Amino acid sequence: MQVNMTVEVWQKGAWFIAKCPELDFVAQGRDVEDAKRNLLEVMEIQFEEMSELGTLEDYLQECGYTLRDNTAVSLSEMVAFERRAVQVIA
């Protein structure tokens, strides 16, 4: 099964954090590629375990995915991203 997803990578100090917001998976690495590789490894392990338990399709549906021709497609899509500063009055 193919799963369409978003991968975000953030830097926190010396570490890079890779996230898949649609599926709520997170991993870290020493560089961007390491973080992304670790995220995919975590997802592969989790998907394999869920598949063995028979819960993978339910999990994907709970995360807002629909299955089409052996592809899991998210029903939501990021359409904008921006950085802003806001004034907070304390």
Closest CA to 38 of 72, 7, 3: 7
**34 three-class SS:** helix
List of the chain residues with pLDDT < 70: none
- Under a CB-based contact definition with an 8 Å cutoff, are residues 46 and 25 in contact? yes
The range of the structural domain enclosing residue 11 comes to 2-74
Angle at 81 between CA 75 and CA 84, to 5 degrees: 145
**Inside any domain, residue 65:** yes
Residue 63's CB: how many other CB atoms inside 10 A? 19
Name residue 20's beta-bridge partners: 25
Q: What is the pLDDT of residues 50-76, one digit of tens each?
A: 999 999 999 999 999 999 999 999 998
**Inside any domain, residue 35:** yes
- Under a CB-based contact definition with an 8 Å cutoff, are residues 60 and 3 in contact? yes
Query: What's the total number of domains in the chain?
Result: 1
CATH code of the domain covering residue 61 = 3.30.160
**Inside any domain, residue 83:** no
Check residue 81 and give its pLDDT.
85
**Inside any domain, residue 27:** yes
Check residue 38 and give its pLDDT.
98
